[in-house]
Structure formats: C-alpha cells, structure tokens
Amino acid sequence: MKIHALILSTIAALVLPASAQVTLEYKIPETSKAVAVSEVKMRQVLQIAGQEIPTKVDQKITAEITAKTRAKDGALRVKITITGITAKFDFPGGIKMEFDSKVPDLKAPMPPLEFILEGLRVISKTPITQVFDKDDQLIKVEIPKGATDGLNPLIKEEMDPKRIFEQMTTLIARLPNKVVSKGDTWVRDEKTHLGGGQVMTFRIDYTYEGTIKQGGRELDRITGKVTSADYAQDGKTPGPLQVVDSEIKPVNSAIKLLFDRKLGCYVSEKSKIQVKGDMTFDVNGMKLPGKLDLTMEQNTITKTKENN
C-alpha cells in the first residue's frame, strides 16, 4: 500500500501543474516619470470620562515622481513634487477647516489651528528627494535645507527626513523577501505615526493571491489583514492630556495591493484599518478612563508613462 501511495503521489507531481513562483522586487527605472494620487480618511472618536470627542480628516494629495539618470556609482535620485493638496477637517465643537493648495492663504477658523494650515502650505511646496543605491535600496531621503525652519514642532516631526525614510522603507518592505506562489504568506510589523510622538504598531499578515489582468497588464495581487495593534507614546504629547495605558485591538481591516512586476512598483494601494480599545489618560495628575475608536483609510493610485 505504501508503494502504491508513493507511485500515485509521484504521478500526481509529474502530471499536475505546479503553482507559478514569482519574485517581487521594487525597481526604479532611470528617467521614469509617474503621478501618484493618494486619498486618506481618518475618523476618530475619543471618549474621556464618558464624553465623546469626534474628529474627521479627509485629504487628497497629488504628486509627480521623477527619476533622474544614475550617477557613476549607480546611485539614483528620485524627486517627489507635490502638485496639489486638498484637506477637510471636522474638529470637536462643530469647528470645520479646509485647505486647498490652489488657495493656500485661507486662514484657520481659530488661531490655535493655524499651525496645521501653515504645515500644509510648506508641505505643498517642499520637494522630497529619495536616494537609491545601485541595487535600488533606499539609502536616504532629503528635503531642502531650512524648509521646516520656524514650523510648529508637530509639523517638523512629520517632515523629518528620518520619518519620511521610515515610511518609505516600510512601504517597500511590504513585499515578500522570498520567492512566492499563490497562497504563500508572510508577516510584517508596520508603524503608523499619529503625531505628537504617538505611534500605532500593526502586525499584518500578508498573502500572495496570484495575478490578475488589468488595463492590458498582468499585476500581482497581495492582500493583508491586521492581526494585532499596539499603541505607544514616545515622550509627552503637547498639552495636558497624556495617555498612560492602553488596550487596543483591531476590529476591522482590509489591505489590497496591486504590484506591477515589470515596472517594479505598486500601481494600487488600498487599506482600511479600524482599531478600538480602552485607554487611561492623565490630565494634570488626574487619571481618567477613556476609549478610542479609530478608522484609517488610504487609497493610492500610481500611473507611469507606461501604464497611464
């Protein structure tokens, strides 16, 4: 019986087609150009001592991405230029605020919020340069000297080249560092900075779902699900409200990535992550119970000359 089973399994291995194995590698073609449009939504309900504090943010950013010619040492510089930003904010108390880079001088509804608009004004006119080595590994990020001088520390934090470098390497590292077939999985820990030293770390289980045809191209499809979340506070946040303890869990998540193997880049990135949990706050030495309900959505489409 064991011999028969061995013969049958051998025949099956010879007859049945093997699942295609692929290698997904991030690449930067020289002298290439692309346009990326990213829409981000954030919905937060913070409950402190029974009182709900809702906040909504909607942003849309359009950017041109231009790769130069490689230097003699193989290094490649890629310039990201923001061509448009729009944003809408809904703050507690019915306060609303908008920003449009086409009309950048609109003022905030109240002075304490003006630093947000000033940050968006600077971001909208500040190019970011990525520097890759000869193997297309990101080695540094640059912004013009003095670009963030005089800005609120919260905005300077978001525009710190080290922070931008971390965000970009996280995106690239989503790809599997191994050959994969349909159904293969891998895990990544990814950090999302919420501002003011607040960091949310997600464990994401990724799955390679095979290929699909879209716009005449064969694209690799990757899905992801958040399986754990952790909130951390690096130092003190501005203001009297401090988080001293938290128990946060993911309650809903869906990540969908489309990768163009020929071009070596993502063409679509969609994600929705919702976390909930209990938090304990400190307000001037007084401990207060609270809850967090946070939903973040992102939809980024990238078009190059080849796939436009």
Residue 139 lies in a domain: yes
pTM here is 0.87
Residue 224 lies in a domain: yes
Q: How many Å apart are CA 257 and CA 247, to the nearest integer?
A: 29
Predicted local distance difference test score (pLDDT) of residue 230: 93
Ordered DSSP codes for 231-252: EEE-SPPSSSEEEEEEEEEEEE
Pairing of the two strands 51-67 and 33-48 = antiparallel
State mean pLDDT over 267-278.
Answer: 96
The pLDDT tens digits for 202-246 are 999 999 999 999 988 999 999 999 999 998 887 666 667 788 888
Q: How many domains does the chain have?
A: 1
Which amino acid appears at position 62 of this protein?
Answer: T
Instruction: Look at 181-185, 203-207, 286-290 and tell me which has the smallest mean pLDDT.
Output: 286-290
Residue 20 lies in a domain: no
Residue 16 lies in a domain: no
Residue 11 lies in a domain: no
Do residues 84 and 50 touch, judged by C-beta distance below 8 A? no
* Structural domain that includes position 69: 27-304
Nearest to 62 by CA among 82, 45, 47: 82
Instruction: Look at 139-143, 157-161, 236-240 and tell me which has the smallest mean pLDDT.
Output: 236-240
Predicted local distance difference test score (pLDDT) of residue 11: 44
Predicted local distance difference test score (pLDDT) of residue 28: 86
Do residues 164 and 157 touch, judged by C-beta distance below 8 A? no
Residue 10 lies in a domain: no
3-state secondary structure of 222: strand
Spatial CB neighbours of 88, under 8 Å, sequence gap ≥ 6: 56, 57, 58, 59, 96, 97, 98
For residue 225, the domain's CATH number is 2.30.230
Nearest to 227 by CA among 262, 259, 199, 254: 254
Residue 114 lies in a domain: yes
Residue 271 lies in a domain: yes
Of the pLDDT bands very low, low, confident and very high (cuts 50, 70, 90), residue 42 is very high
Spatial CB neighbours of 143, under 8 Å, sequence gap ≥ 6: 126, 127, 128, 129, 159, 161, 164
Which amino acid appears at position 154 of this protein?
Answer: L
Do residues 85 and 123 touch, judged by C-beta distance below 8 A? yes
